[in-house]
Structure 1
Amino acid sequence: MSAAGLSEADQKELQSFLDTEQAKARVQNSVHNFTELCWDKCITSSIGARFGRGEEACLSNCVERFLDSSLYIVKQLEQQRHAQ
């Protein structure tokens, strides 16, 4: 069945679903990018059983900033969704 064969309500529901899935994909992409960024920024020694001296603190701070950023992004997406 094509989108043209759907009722207006079904088309809106489908569009809402697609918008939600795209938002999830953007968040997943952000998680991937921040993970890579934090690792590259913080892990400077060879991988061993433990992190280097400042690596653990760096990772912790980086993750906290990531969580702050993620929360901000989610709030912005929610505001955009409610404005539509």
Structure 2
Amino acid sequence: MGKKELHFGLLLTPCYSIHTFFLKHEIDVVFLGENNQVLFLIQQAQRGRIFVGVPGTKTVLELPPTVTKGKLHIGDILAFIPFSTSQ
């Protein structure tokens, strides 16, 4: 919130709903169920709204706008690789 642009994704777990109040930009929203299966997608979610996932939502992934365009589909399963800044 409060950022002019989103340059990374934000994985919220456990989570089944989000709001876009106070955002300065639109975001893509991916609602995930068991095993990180894509249950529902919202592309370029408008600011100032509340979005509730479909039944079975366990996790919500927020992404920069247009990241998901044509790349994610309902039923896809996402794999997350842990990222570390220490080497």
Q: Same fold (TM over 0.5)?
A: no
More helix by share: 1
Structure possessing the higher relative contact order (Cα contacts under 8 Å, 6 or more residues apart): 2
TM value normalised by structure 1: 0.20
Structure number with bigger Rg = 1
